[in-house]
Amino acid sequence: MTPQVKILQTEILSDNWYTLRKITFEYAKKNGRIETQNREAYDRGNGAAILLYNKEQHTVILTRQFRLPTFINGNESGMLIEACAGLLDKDNPEDCIRRETEEETGYRITDVRKIFEAYMSPGSVTEILHFFVAEYHRSMKVHDGGGVAHEQEEIEVLEMPIEQAMTMIDNGAIKDAKTIILLQYIKLHHIL
């Protein structure tokens, strides 16, 4: 069943960092009744995330960086351990994730594999996230990583055994949804 929706009005509430819109729309319910509803939607663009893994060493590459939204919602340090990710910035998802991987981790990867895409917070955020995995080797390391200064990034690159990363999910040290999803994908599909 495809609902009938008619957008009546769109108001921009903020366009400082990304765009927050208030949307008024008509929604036809199953019983035929038409309701007028208001919702806010945050548009930050679409993104891509990747988990780098090494089959020989049974390791993964993750990052750690400060995330203000987590800090203001109870994460005492604001630091978050994550899979490498970034916004598409008008690139296709594969080009984006190759660029982000090199900027953030210092690895120039060759073969990336898209595994799926998902809405990460569909109740309020428009973003579709494209998920990738790729194998890495020491020979692919071209610099230390750490992000891009003009984007005010300060990223620590972490290499750890897959089992340590899985334990960090269990003990709450890894709380980022995209990272948890990618780590579980690797385990579920017996990649490591």
pLDDT: is 17 or 63 the higher one? 63
In percent, the amount of the chain with pLDDT more than 90 equals 89
pLDDT: is 73 or 192 the higher one? 73
What does the pLDDT look like over 103-123, one tens digit per residue?
A: 999 999 989 999 999 999 999
The topology under which CATH files domain 47-188 is Nucleoside Triphosphate Pyrophosphohydrolase (3.90.79)
Please give the Cα distance from 24 to 41 (Å, whole number): 11
For residue 65, give Cα distances in angstroms to 9, 52, 85.
38, 17, 12
What does the pLDDT look like over 160-181, one tens digit per residue?
A: 999 999 999 999 999 999 999 9
Please give the Cα distance from 137 to 141 (Å, whole number): 8
For residue 31, give Cα distances in angstroms to 3, 36, 38, 118.
11, 15, 20, 30
